[in-house]
Amino acid sequence: MIPIIDIFAGPGGLGEGFSSFRCQKEQPVFDIALSIEKDIYAHSTLELRSFFRKFPCGKAPEEYYEYIHKKSLTNSPREHRKLRSLLFEKYPDEARQAQQEAWHVELGNNKDLNIEIDNRIREIIGAPDIKCWGMIGGPPCQAYSVIGRSRNKGIVGYSAENDKRSYLYQQYLRLIAQHKPNFFIMENVKGMLSAKLNGKSVFEKILDDLKFPRKVIKDQRRGTTIEYQIYPLIFNSSDSKKPEDFIVETEYYGIPQARHRVVLLGIKKDFSTVLPATLKKKKQPVTVKEVLGNLPELRSGLSREKNNTSGLWVERLREIVDFEWFEKHPDKELTAFIRKAVEKISQKSQTQGSEYMPYTTELFADKKLSAWYIDKRLKGVCNHTSRLHMVSDLHRYLFAASFAEKNGSAPLIAEFPDELIPEHKNVSTGYFNDRFRVQVAGKPSSTVTSHISKDGHYFIHYDPLQCRSLTVREAARLQTFPDNYYFEGSRTQQYTQVGNAVPPFLARQIAEIVHDLIKRTITGF
């Protein structure tokens, strides 16, 4: 298999896509030989998934599923660690391999750590049967993202030039310069296209640096020059410097999410001059309802209430029809939608979910979606717990979801009744316009970001009868993580991991492009 080094791995979205790719003989092509991640919770997820992958496809031990089941029965971190230890002790060889693959370290200027990483990579790529290898990863993007730059403006004395996150891509660059992978994939936010450092375009500098990495890295300047051709993935060319050429709009490629990211494919020039293939657009987008509609229905919880029963939740929702604004609202068809939803809610019996819910798995109408997401051995769904919401937010969610069901689009803040608009200083600025955003059933979702860990207002479920924000599992499905991909940590930490990840199904398509190029380059591969 072709070794892959996964840098800034997060919970492993890129690695999952590459490792899941199979050739025509249904054999795996790529092996995640090393993955590096600094966040302890993302690393824990990464390590567990690595353990899962040490077994042949479909042959993971029953104890893996039992681990997920048992973890849902306790909130004790100590018990969680004990359960994980028992699982790993049961399969020591696979556990040791997973722990060797997934490293919990922070890439930076630690020379001793760099030496250790370099030695490990040399060990991996120095094996006699290695014909080629690659590097994948996305350096942290907070300093480049539009939202991050907006927040940084409010920090007294902030300077992008002095923000170490602005230069994290150089750690990626250092490894390319040192080890000369035959190919690499680098993913980042669209905001980097408009970001500037010292008055110069960040993207143009990164593009030039990646073409000649040894000209930039101090320790490598005297070494042999190496050159890379940098390709976009949406058309065949290595000559383009137009930033927009490198944007992948994922909703056109089978991802149920309008996630727009910069993706660069680097090919070492003396390895191959073959033009890579491009991503193939799908005939129809995959919608939110297609990937969320067969999950167990949940109700939200109540915050700031003495109890959190289903009955009280229904009672609080029913209060919406008694407000004066409701009777006077000019859109009588919409208020009829809301009234009907309230009546149906009172007839339902819903729970708030769990870290593992036993559930008779419903397959998708699309067989390919079922094959990608569903694992019948799971016999349920994990990471599927709803949040607590204030009653005032429940009424906003009910209004917004009913509006979207009626109109096919989420309401802007100006379309809310005055009584439902929160008292917030930013309401009149325009920045608050889509503060309560329903994920419309018949369309791909908006971009799932790490902000979902803060609150759920941008990620409201399309179903008024559930009246809540998305769960971790629902966000993970929009990101195309298979259902048996278990996220470790608290719910907040799980949300953050999912929001920061690369969609695995997109990564799988990129892996197919890379494999095709290698096959056309190496005779007999």
> Where do the domains of the chain lie, and which CATH numbers do they carry?
2-285+503-521 (3.40.50.150), 288-500 (no CATH)
458-500 pLDDT, tens per residue? 999 999 999 999 999 999 999 999 999 999 999 999 999 999 9
Output the pLDDT for position 79: 95
- pLDDT of the residue at 156: 46
Question: Residues for the chain: how many in total?
Answer: 525
Query: What percent of the chain shows pLDDT beyond 70?
Result: 90
pLDDT for 192 beyond 90: no
Other C-beta atoms within 10 Å of 302: how many? 21
Average pLDDT across the chain, whole number: 90
Whether 371 shows a pLDDT value over 60: the answer reads: yes
- Determine whether 113 is exposed, middle or buried from the number of CB atoms within 10 Å of its CB (0-12, 13-18, 19+): middle
- Whether the per-residue pLDDT at 242 is higher than 90: the answer is no
Q: For residue range 410-430, list pLDDT tens digits in order.
A: 999 889 999 998 876 555 555
The CA-atom distances, in angstroms, between 339 and each of 37, 275, 319, 322, 462 are: 49, 58, 11, 10, 16
Q: What angle do CA 301, 307, 313 make, to 5 degrees?
A: 45
Q: How far apart are CA 310 and CA 323, in angstroms?
A: 22
Q: CB 200: neighbour CB atoms within 10 A?
A: 9
Q: Tens digits of per-residue pLDDT, 265-319?
A: 999 999 998 999 999 999 999 999 999 999 999 999 999 888 888 999 999 999 9
Contact 384, 357 (CB under 8 A): yes
